[in-house]
Amino acid sequence: MKVLIVGSGGREHAIAWKLLQDDPTLDVLAAPGNPGIGTLARCVPIQADDLRGILALAREEAVDLTVIGPEAPLDAGIVDLFRTNHLAIFGPTRGAARIETSKRFAKELMAHAGVPTAHASHHTSVDTALGAAHALGAPVVIKASGLAAGKGVVIASTMAEAERAITEMLDGGIFGAAGSEVLVEEFMEGEEVSIFAICDGQHSRLMIAAQDHKRLEDGDIGPNTGGMGAYAPVSLDTPAFREFVKVRIIDRILAALREEGHPFTGLLYAGLMLTAGGPMVVEFNCRFGDPETQALLPLMASSLLQPMLTVARGETLVGTPEFDWLPDSCVTTVLAAAGYPAAVRKGDPITFPEPQEGVYVFHAGTRLADDSAKPTTPIPAVVTSGGRVLSVSAVAPTLHAAATMSRHYAGRISFAGKQMRHDIGWRELFREIEAPHDGNRHA
């Protein structure tokens, strides 16, 4: 069987790795891929936003399954294009992808479906947005309505920060068209967790929860980023929580999208805030999250390939098994380039320690130091080429052991200007001290 993975990040590297764990006989291609993916698959220099190029590649290679990693090609309608050409593809249509690509659409859909979320108003005028922010008071959340590569959210702790964010988005255009409309949203207090669900348009299979760390620096300070690390499982993911998420959130939003005429197929990501009043949706994404994917897939004992194929072929998940998980923990530490999340420096050489059992290094912002070189095993010389450079995932019987392994190995990877957090999983570690797990973490 031949599988094409579209994208070039750590998420796509982890997906390629997992699919080959499920079936080592797979012939995997990646467009465009990266040096890490190149040790597992054949990378083809076609960019993820080149829809016609990807379609031509899938036809030429007689690909059996195409998996879309990033949101941009989904927003551009790659699933619609493939389905028109009768090719199996895992992901939502352009209409269904609006659950991520338009925060205004997502808010209005949640209100219609009765999905719990924070109150928000949408604005294209600085004056009305400022008025809404002042009415809510600080802290307040300012969001670019469109796609902003995971960086279009400002949690303003003061009105001065809110005013600056609104002005920069609407007048300054810092997020381009994505910030031409903003949402002013009430601040929600609590812990944030992520739930992934594979969906066939009507039914879903939920994965265990992961917790992302968005702030750049230890102690959850510094600017928001696309994610500086993640861990799984999360003890807050109880059977009651899971039932609430499935019935009150996932099932309702799937029904609402069907009513809109855009049934959701693929991976639905729910970012949830665990407030005193119960779980509330922060955001939906229409694809695997990064870096949560790198923390979840190393723990998945059952097949990811089979439910992906089922959905991509337009078949039902009814009768398919729920996911099985290892009785372990996984902690992922992200290594970021100098300057991230602002102006990123590129081209710094990277050196790696010897491989370590239980540690998986997933590439994101890397490229070959010599463009004429071909990826091999081990990886040839690579340099930094993006903001988030590598994800270091470690699997161990306890969260403390996994965190230690991830942090220590990440610390031994070297490149100039490297940024990393040293406290991924800190909330869960505090919970373990206060109330140790009872062994039913994956219920």
Give the pLDDT confidence of 65-109 residue by residue, as tens digits.
999 999 999 999 999 999 999 999 999 999 999 999 998 999 999
pLDDT tens, residue by residue, 248-266: 999 999 999 999 999 999 9
- Among 139, 161, 180, the domain boundary falls at 180
* Residue 176 counted as domain residue: yes
Give the pLDDT mean for 101-121: 93
pLDDT value of residue 433: 81
Report the range of poorest mean pLDDT among 120-134, 192-206, 304-318: 120-134
- Report the pLDDT value the prediction gives residue 109, as an integer from 0 to 100: 96
CATH number, domain containing residue 151: 3.30.1490.20
In angstroms, what CA-CA distances link 153 with 118, 145, 372, 406?
14, 9, 39, 28
Check if the beta carbon of residue 364 is closer than 8 Å to that of residue 386. Answer: yes
User: What percentage of the chain carries pLDDT values higher than 70?
Assistant: 95
Domain count, the chain: 2
- Which CATH number does the domain housing residue 8 bear? 3.40.50.20
Same domain, 89 and 132: no
Same domain, 21 and 82: yes
- pLDDT for res 145: 83
Domain-embedded: residue 141: yes
Between 372 and 172, residue with greater pLDDT? 172
Please indicate, yes or no, whether residues 84 and 129 belong to a single structural domain of this protein.
no
Question: Structure pTM?
Answer: 0.92
Segments in 48-125 forming alpha helices (H): 51-60, 71-75, 78-84, 94-101, 103-113
SS3 content of the chain, % helix, strand, coil (to 5): 35, 25, 40
Q: How far apart are CA 286 and CA 196, in angstroms?
A: 10
Name the maximum alpha-carbon separation found in the chain. 59
CB 166 within 8 A of CB 126: yes
Asked whether residue 24 is domain-assigned, the answer is: yes
- 185 inside domain: no
Q: Are residues 88 and 129 in the same domain?
A: no
Domain around 162: 125-180
- Structural domain ending residue among the three candidates 73, 93, 113: 93
Confirm whether 287 is domain-assigned: no
For residue 22, pLDDT over 60 is answered with yes
Higher pLDDT, 125 or 411: 411
Same domain, 84 and 8: yes
144 inside domain: yes
Domain boundary among 113, 147, 180: 180
Dihedral, CA of residue 221, residue 228, residue 424 and residue 195, to nearest 10? 110
Please tell me the predicted confidence (pLDDT) of residue 210.
Answer: 98
What is the mean pLDDT of the segment spanning 1-25?
98
Q: Which residues contact 129 (CB under 8 A, 6 or more apart)?
A: 123, 142, 166, 170, 182, 184
**Residues 65 and 131 reside in one and the same domain:** no
pLDDT in tens, 201-239: 999 999 999 999 999 999 999 988 999 999 999 999 999
85 and 150 belong to one structural domain: no
**Cα 311 from Cα 91, distance rounded (Å):** 9
Q: How many CA atoms lie within 13 A of 298 on its CB side?
A: 32
Instruction: Specify the pLDDT at position 440.
Output: 44
Reported confidence tier of residue 436, pLDDT bands at 50, 70, 90: low
Which residues pair with residue 359 across a beta bridge?
A: 394
Q: For the chain, give the mean pLDDT.
A: 93
Query: Does 130 lie in the same domain as 86?
Result: no
Q: What pLDDT is stored for residue 443 in this prediction?
A: 40
Question: Is residue 250 domain-resident?
Answer: no
pLDDT at residue 150 tops 90: no
Pair 83, 139 in one domain = no
Q: What three-state secondary structure class fits 196?
A: strand
Assess if residue 16 is contained within a domain.
yes
pLDDT at 375: 63
